[in-house]
Amino acid sequence: MKLLRYGPSGQEKPGVLDAAGGIRDLSGIVDDLSSATLAAGALDKLKGTDIESLPTVSGNPRIGACVGAPGKVVCIGLNYSDHAAETGAEPPKEPIVFMKATSAVQGPNDTVRMPRNSKKSDWEVELGVIIGKHAKYVSEADALSHVAGYCVANDVSEREFQAERGGQWTKGKSCDTFGPIGPWLVTADEVADPQDLDMFLDVNGKRFQTGNTKTMIFSVAHIIHYCSQMFSLMPGDVIMTGTPPGVGLGVKPNPVFLKDGDEMYLGIAGLGEQRQKVVAD
């Protein structure tokens, strides 16, 4: 199923995509698609649902983040060897793990607002993984059984905040609006292999990123296994698994960064697309 949340920010309702690409309302079955409802078995409640019998949603509503109120957003840095190379970094021997503030999470087509004094805001198309059940000390072989589904994510990053102002990466990754996810939570049963998904990102109609998840250094299964040895992954948690080459920071000889009025367009095969206007605060 391609699950989604639609409606005004803070008032989203759960929905599902029907065979014709229309939205059907799920609020008669589950209250929301959130960390709380996933923990309470929302996906089990939806099994066997006759989607075509559900009420249709008219018009063209705003699409919200595909999971509401995630407990945490875990990010994996430099997880594609060619991306590590373009930034001048050595490929990591273990996953680089950092957090993105949950207040950065927003809908896939909502406006991205660059913070005041931003000089180096950048883009990163990433495969998002949404945890479906508690994962602690899980084996790599069993890791994918803990996945509720997958989504498109844009790990928007302010590079000066991230790398030039001391401390850790979190402050360059966590600006408000810097975590668009969705449009859909595509349930795990519909993704045959998370390690073979084409992905792309354009800025103002120019292709910057082209990649495939097969070139990840650490697979989705390994990332879940690895993180679960250190902390619990809970239903509704989001993992952003790293980006392929083509970020603005890596453009040679002169890096390219986002500016007021730019438009990002990105997607992953089978998981949908996002489009964001960039506005300076």
pLDDT, averaged per 10 consecutive residues of the chain (281 residues), comes to 98 97 97 97 95 97 98 96 79 95 98 96 98 98 98 97 87 97 98 98 98 96 98 98 96 96 98 98 92
pTM for the predicted model, two decimal places: 0.96
Same domain, 37 and 85: no
Same domain, 12 and 145: no
Q: Is residue 13 part of a domain?
A: yes
Q: Is residue 213 part of a domain?
A: yes
Q: What is the mean pLDDT of the chain?
A: 96
Same domain, 258 and 120: yes
Same domain, 131 and 260: yes
Return the sign of the alpha-carbon dihedral for residues 221, 83, 99, 104. negative
Contact at 8 Å (CB) between 176 and 104?
yes
* Tally of domains in the chain: 2
Same domain, 163 and 264: yes
Please report where in the chains the tokens 């949340």 appear, as a residue: 5
Structural domain span for residue 18: 2-53
Cis peptide before 253 (omega within 30 of 0): yes
Q: Is residue 59 part of a domain?
A: no
Same domain, 25 and 98: no
Q: How many CB atoms lie within 10 A of CB 118?
A: 20
- Pair type for strands 112-114 and 272-280: parallel
Q: Is residue 61 part of a domain?
A: no
Same domain, 246 and 198: yes
Same domain, 28 and 156: no
Please report where in the chains the tokens 């367009």 appear, as a residue: 265
Question: Which residue type occupies 69?
Answer: A
| Residue 173, domain CATH | 3.90.850.10
Q: Is residue 58 part of a domain?
A: no
User: pLDDT tens, 69-125?
Assistant: 999 999 999 999 878 777 777 889 999 999 999 999 999 999 999 999 999 999 999
User: pLDDT tens, 230-242?
Assistant: 999 999 999 999 9
Same domain, 95 and 202: yes
Same domain, 120 and 234: yes
Q: Is residue 62 part of a domain?
A: no
> What pLDDT shows up at residue 165?
86
Same domain, 102 and 190: yes
Same domain, 197 and 272: yes
